[in-house]
């Protein structure tokens, strides 16, 4: 259904929990798509700590224990609002840089397919470089550069040509015309990390 994805793996979920209402069979009637990005190739390229690839699994485990599916202030059930599109399968059969770039193409295609179905994509990664293909897909879908907010001690504006890895997304997005720098804000930038 969604290109380049594998089915999501969920822990056991008790009935009545919000996660029990997340659809896995069809996006029909849903408004939000959960898209797992289990890849930390960019992190490893920048000599960072691997482990970001466990993000989708850890997120689903936390969500499985989350509360009810009933929104009390609006007096409505949230059943059927979220579709879990699964995880984008990373490319691992070439050099790390080529694998990262090929995975970025897969993520863009998967996220774009979800946007084209009218869904808001909630991507859970993975390395921060995966912001690049996810936001690129949104920009392509809207047909214009988008704005945004990054809350992170790192600016993530390294040159993708000379320092490919997890620190590239915002420079690559701005240079590619996908992110409008006039409508982009970075909060929490670390004093000694940039």
- Residue corresponding to tokens 């689903």: 60
The mean pLDDT value of the chain amounts to 95
* 5-61 pLDDT tens trace: 999 999 999 988 999 999 999 999 999 999 999 999 999 999 999 999 999 999 999
* 87-106 pLDDT tens trace: 999 999 889 999 999 999 99
> Which pLDDT band holds residue 70 (cuts at 50, 70, 90)?
confident
Looking at residue 102, what is its pLDDT?
A: 97
**∠88-89-91 over CA atoms, to 5°?**
125
* 41-54 pLDDT tens trace: 999 999 999 999 99
* 144-163 pLDDT tens trace: 999 999 999 999 999 999 99
List the one residue out of 179, 120, 110 whose CA is nearest residue 144.
Answer: 179
Looking at residue 178, what is its pLDDT?
A: 98
Looking at residue 143, what is its pLDDT?
A: 98
Global pTM value:
0.95
Query: From CA 34, how far away is CA 24, in angstroms rounded?
Result: 10
């Amino acid at each position: 259904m969604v290109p380049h994805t594998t089915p999501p793996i969920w822990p056991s979920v008790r009935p009545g929990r919000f996660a029990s209402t997340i659809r896995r069979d069809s996006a029909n009637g849903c408004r939000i798509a959960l898209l797992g990005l289990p890849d930390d190739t960019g992190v490893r390229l920048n000599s960072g700590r691997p482990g970001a690839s466990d993000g989708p699994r850890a997120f689903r485990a936390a969500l499985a224990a989350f509360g009810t599916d009933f929104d009390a202030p609006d007096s409505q059930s949230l059943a059927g609002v979220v579709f879990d599109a699964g995880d984008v399968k990373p490319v691992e059969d070439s050099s790390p840089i080529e694998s990262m770039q090929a995975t970025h193409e897969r993520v863009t295609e998967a996220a774009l397919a979800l946007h084209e179905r009218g869904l808001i994509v909630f991507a859970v990664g993975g390395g921060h470089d995966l912001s690049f293909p996810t936001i690129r897909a949104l920009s392509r879908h809207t047909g214009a550069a988008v704005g945004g907010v990054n809350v992170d001690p790192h600016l993530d504006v390294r040159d993708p040509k000379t320092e490919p890895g997890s620190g590239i997304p915002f420079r690559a997005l701005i240079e590619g015309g996908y992110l409008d720098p006039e409508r982009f804000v970075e909060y929490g930038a670390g004093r000694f990390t940039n």
